[in-house]
Chains A and B, each alone.
Chain A
Amino acid sequence: MQMPVPRADVIAQRARLFEQLRAVLPDEAVIVDPTETRAYECDGLTAYRCPPLAAVLPATTAEVAAVLRICHAAGVPVVPRGAGTSLAGGALPTADCVILGVARMRDVLETDYANRFIRVQTGRTNLSVTGAVEADGFFYAPDPSSQLACAIAGNIAMNSGGAHCLKYGVTTNNLLGVTLVQMDGTVVEIGGPFMDAGGLDLLGVICGSEGQLGVVTEATLRILPKPEGARPVLIGFDANEVAGACVSDIIKAGILPVAIEFMDRPCIRATEAFAHAGYPDCEALLIVEVEGSDAEIDEQLGLIRQIAERHNPVEFRESQSEEEARKIWLGRKSAFGAMGQINDYICLDGTIPVSELPHVLRRIGELSKQYGLDVANVFHAGDGNMHPLILFDANKPGDLETCEAMGAEILKLCVEVGGCLTGEHGVGVEKRDLMSVQFAQADLEAQMRVKDVFDPMWLLNPAKVFPLAASEGRRG
């Protein structure tokens, strides 16, 4: 993977830059010591690393603006950072950049139950947003599996999703407003505790812009009342195709589960060995969760059972207690950890039309044989967001490259069948060079023009999202 050549002039001027940064931030918030900047050398995509020139940790919107004004004037690239859990290399530094981390900005600024919103600083973690309102019966719906660690900042930048977004939507559907600091230091308020934009929907394009349009320092988020109850079932099948058909039938029947998760045999076996959740040893399993009162849950699960039985499941397991419910989710929730125990892996994130599921799984199986690497599939089946995990051995020379080549094949397949490269993890550097598979030049041009407006000098996270060749003339 290629990154732009670091700008020698910026690096040469670094002493002056550090001095300017220290003039607007407390000393401990300006990190320049190479042993300390190493902490920021990568995000969740650990295959790529590069320490930044400096990392700064402002505590207020005004401090963020001051930092950006300095970097803007000096022509220094800035990479915003939340918790650094991106799986796409979105927060990967370059050697000439300043990492602007919002980790010290974690306050709750306002909670308003009558109007159902919370306003927070964006360094706050996803789970602690729910933590701030759950005692009063509310929650923040988007729930990425990384929710204990990841920050609202990164959630907004990546438009993150989670297991429950089939019913509640992803970040963009739960975001009401942001405070955005532009690269030149201008502070803009967009949206707020009311619905929809009065003019152009700028909020809609800021969400998911991967830190390229501005630094988001505060956010107004929609909160929802907790459901009366929720209960999962586990359904096992002897073929992937059958599980896929069952998903489609559940959806057509007018039931709206909060989550439909899918695991295939390699994934089931690996997680079973790791988490001992007691999953059946079958080709494919679904975890379907529904919400409501006890009676409502019973009724929905009754319907789901009827539908599933038409597909001859090898197992239909209802949870009779909290403990059983926990066990049903346990394997799914430890899937990534389990795979990590037995192997190195890369996790793909393409989305496909649900109807293409059997075809795509079959093709992935063929590619797996062709490339000689195992693949485990675990994903959000209700919305077609796949997470094939390709297993490789990092110590074996060439294995990562083979793995990436196979990953690219799978993502191309997703696009070919009418889907996309990434459903929730974002493009970052990881899928940057595949963008032209999904988009024509005019499509990319339209997106890059948006960045031209927000960040005319292309200083914010400039080497991400767009193929380097496509953005070349724009980057300084």
Chain B
Amino acid sequence: MVSVKPSAHLTRLNSKDDYIAFREHAHRKWDALWNGDATLVSVGVGSSSIAKGALEVLEQAHQVAGDAIVREVSGNGAFWMEPWIEIKRPGVDPVVYGPLTVDDVAGVIAGTRDDLAVGVRGENPVGDIRPLTEIDFFKHQVPLLTRNAGVIEPDSIEDAIARGAYDGYFKVLFEISQEQAIAEVTTANVRGRGGGGFPAGIKWESGRKARNNPKFIVCNSHEGEPNVYKDRHLHECDPHRILEGIMIACIACGAERGYNYIGGEYPLGIRRFRKAVANAERLGLIGKNVLGTGKNVAIRVRTGGGAYVCGEASALMYSIMGVRGQPRTKPPRSVEEGLWKRPTVANNTETLANMPDIIVRGGEWYASLGTENSKGTKLMTMQGPSKLSGVVEVEMGVTMRHLLNDIYGGMREGYTFKGIQTGGASAGPITEDAFDLAIDFDSLGPLNGMLGSGGWVLFDEDVCAVDMARYLTAFSRYESCSKCVPCRLGNPALVEILDRIRFGRGSLEDLALIRRTSSHIIELSLCGLGQVAPVPLVAFLDTYEEEFRQHIVDGVCKCGVCPISAPSRETMLEEVAAD
């Protein structure tokens, strides 16, 4: 197995006191680093910046840095400024420069390229350069889960500890009981970030009460949706936070082993997470008799193989067990009979990443953030032709108007707004009348929309509603595991009807047929995939019915996307004749 080795200088800690001493050492080291007389050159390396040449920038930084210390940090979510470099000079706050190329690196390090400066990471301006927090993209964010993004070196457990990692784990190990830990989670009222919004406290309590042993925790980092990359981002920028969340869950629920099931699509995130596990193991935070407490915590990393349905919790467990990932009927629920038929608590990555702060700062503090029914912050991504792009963390209750216009800078030049697809392939689009709603787990429901995992897809007037509905339905058709009939046969039937319409052979009865077929699939399918597969299509039909009718009645696709609008053989011949 591709083994990731722990950092060589770490040694095992055997007691509470050992750990406290190590934590102090990490803090001292961090303070010395940032308050010392060395220049720090931090390069933001994440999968999005690597695609734009960040590794070459990093290499160049090593070449020309001289006495400066070069650090490999993660991306900070702001895709539009990648690749970037942060320079911390003695006595002033760090300044971030980007987007830049390999050729700019030497100048930036030498201090001659202030034209490339984006902002200061800190409160005080440096010369004419203003703080990042005055830039709209950052100003409106509330970085809790992402506060280490671009700050720590993800591969360094000491960096993470100096910034507060494993404090929550320490607390559940030494200071509070399992019941108290779960009470904090319940008070926090943190709801599952995997899309469903189920209260984590209730799930954990059932997990703790389950009598069958051993028990397991599963972190669902599959993220196979085509519309979101927030869990990948979290793995790349702060793997320790996720790991700590899993470890806290293990202690709170009395589970001896935690799993992280990661989609195979993000190798960098997997590597950084494995490194975090290796280092935590080396320090003795994971393993047998953790810090002399007599408690055992094991962590296993498992990776997926590119099947969306494996994000469904029961399918995910089958996938871990080395068979096809096909969902099963419930009951029994996973907390009674999950992985290897043992009680298993499954949570989304982001849900678990919230736990360290909830344990350290308390459930009440957490519950003060967000809306009545949805607490805390939410990671969100925006795809499509928005001016800016990337991962942001905002408080629950943000409005779409604020998110799109203030944070993501509105539509890109030359594009006209048509809608925003919500919930990936599980819900429908919203239009401007939903723009002033406070977004949380429940508010978009009446409008066919859904918060889901927080991935929004902006689309413009050039995108045909029929074609996009087909794209979404075809996604579910392709990803269906084929176990049950309504989903296996129903989704291809829907795609066929849509193709009829796209090719100009549809009839108005097809619209009724879509609705009828859809309700069969929704009502009769076994798992969440089939139960929502037709939802986007029906919602597109509700929202853009006029466009469907134009295809059928007038025989035109006004966006010029569908085959219907390709010039027919006759018109082509006429054109040739006219030449």
Specify whether A and B are partners.
no
A residues adjacent to B (C-beta < 8 A): none
Interface residues of B (CB under 8 A from A): none
